[in-house]
Structure 1
Amino acid sequence: MSAQRLIIVTGGSRGIGAAIATRLAREGYALAIGCRYPIEARQLLEGIEAEGGQALALPLDVVQEGEVARFFAAAEERLGPLHALVNNAGITGPLGRFVDLDATEMRRVTDVNLTGTMLCAREALRRFAVREVSGRSIVNISSVAAATGSPGEYVHYAATKAAVEAFTLGLAREVAGQGIRVNAVAPGTVRTGIHALAGDPGRPDRIAPRVPMGRVGEPAEIAEAAAWLVSDAASYATGAVLRVTGGL
């Protein structure tokens, strides 16, 4: 596989995004990691480069249309034509009952999780159209919350992820005839720093007893699912939502 098959991973400086970037780099892809603060990705880049991989991190706010276009252009200029996009950037917003949710937080979560996913997917499609080669794909990161609704915790977040899954299916059917695949991975609770950012660092340990497998997931386990959907092994998979939830 050529090292110049570029994959963009948004929200890729830590957690699930960093695990996906690391996994794909081991497959020989060149990685462009989008994040708000590229300095946060320094350790990730050093790890990829130490294993002989090629990666860079560039600033990206997925809700800013112009910034999305500039990011994709810079990534292709430095690493070659786009092969795949992993739409991982996302936020939960505050935990709590929906009735208490501030409208500003509601809009921010919707902008990042849904509008940001759409803007990045649209930019990827525009670039795919320039070079019609095999294997082009988009993988959106959803959540088990799309199926459970997450009552009492983050109904607003769950709603955005359900919308991401509907978007995945509709877009997959729209572009299948162009040889472009669009799929999603829906993780269950995963041990990452997102829980601390939401103000509940102990959530993974609290959730673990409810999971049929008796534990929460690890970022590397989600990365395996994303890597499979990107790969040629998944050549007949499009419009799929791969649930990696430990049985939830």
Structure 2
Amino acid sequence: MSRTIVIAGVGEGLGSSVARVFAQSGDDVALLARSSEFITTLAADLSESTPGRAAAFPTDLADSAEVADAFASLRERLGPVGGLVFTAFGGGGGGGVFDTDPDQLRGALDVRVHGLFECVSEATADMRDNDGGTVVVVNSGTSRTPSENTVDSTARHACRGLTRSIAADPDLGSHGIQAVHVIVDGWISKPSLHEQFPDHERWMTPDDIATVLGRLVDAPDSVHTSEIDLRHPEDAPSF
């Protein structure tokens, strides 16, 4: 039986790979992102090339009303939500504390914290009704180790804190809902990064990461986890 999996923050790298993993397994996937053209094209490709259905829902994850509208639309089109994978980045420009633009900080928090909260609230409402589901939140090593980029570090720490709080919620656990914070502790392969850092050799592929995320959503009912980290085999943990 197919499920509806929401991928929030779909881009050309990891988000696309995650969508393809679930669609290939026969699940229906709802693609949420601001880029209407990109996710519409991806949804058409997935619907034609995989067993699952895919639909695009252009959404500003920082806008509560848009998130609510997107979930209402995807429920009507694909059915209740069985899984949520949150990969949204939300920007992170800036430097140290005295170089930080408050609007940049606010914007990053609006996506990575408020946007995450809105998506989780919508998704887990369906999961509670159906006694089960999984929330997967993708983050980086900066969520554990502070960096000189105040905006990025603050937003990522806050995102981790919210996800850990969700994972610890006994009400969700009693309904068979798990929330997993995934720390991608390393470099995700992307053409633009290869061009920018030609000497870097240890890359994790989006497809391999997406495969792991898919397995987390398929975790057995009697075993849950709240946090894992992923890294290249030759890299030591950064935290």
TM-score by length of 1: 0.84
Q: Tell me, in whole angstroms, the C-alpha distance in 2 between the residues paired with 1:91 and 1:122.
A: 19
Q: Counterpart of 2:26 in structure 1: which amino acid?
A: G
SS of 1:23 mapped into structure 2 = helix
Aligned equivalent of 2:134, options 124, 137, 144: 137
Q: 8 Å contact 2:100–2:150 — kept in the other structure?
A: no
Identity of aligned residues (%): 26
SS of 1:232 mapped into structure 2 = coil
Q: Counterpart of 2:52 in structure 1: which amino acid?
A: G
Aligned equivalent of 1:159, options 154, 157, 180: 154
1:48 corresponding residue in structure 2: 46
Q: Tell me, in whole angstroms, the C-alpha distance in 2 between the residues paired with 1:74 and 1:201.
A: 39
Aligned equivalent of 2:211, options 224, 228, 236: 224
Moved over 6 A (4+): none
2:230 corresponding residue in structure 1: 244
Aligned residue pairs, count: 230
Q: 8 Å contact 1:85–1:139 — kept in the other structure?
A: yes
Deviation at 1:147, TM superposition (A): 2.2
Pair 162,116 (structure 1): closer, same or farther in 2 beyond 3 Å: same
Q: Tell me, in whole angstroms, the C-alpha distance in 1 between the residues paired with 2:96 and 2:61.
A: 27
Structure 1 unpaired stretches of 5+: 209-213
Structure 2 unpaired stretches of 5+: none
Q: Counterpart of 2:99 in structure 1: which amino acid?
A: D
2:69 corresponding residue in structure 1: 70
2:187 corresponding residue in structure 1: 189
SS of 2:54 mapped into structure 1 = strand
Q: Tell me, in whole angstroms, the C-alpha distance in 1 between the residues paired with 2:40 and 2:61.
A: 20
For the aligned residue pairs, the C-alpha RMSD in angstroms reads 2.2
1:99-139 Cα distance to aligned partner (Å, 9 max, x none): 3121111111111111111111111122323x2233x1111
Pair 95,15 (structure 1): closer, same or farther in 2 beyond 3 Å: farther
TM-score by length of 2: 0.87
SS of 1:7 mapped into structure 2 = strand
Pair 234,189 (structure 1): closer, same or farther in 2 beyond 3 Å: farther
Deviation at 1:141, TM superposition (A): 1.1
2:162 pairs with 1:176: no
Deviation at 1:235, TM superposition (A): 5.1
1:211 corresponding residue in structure 2: none
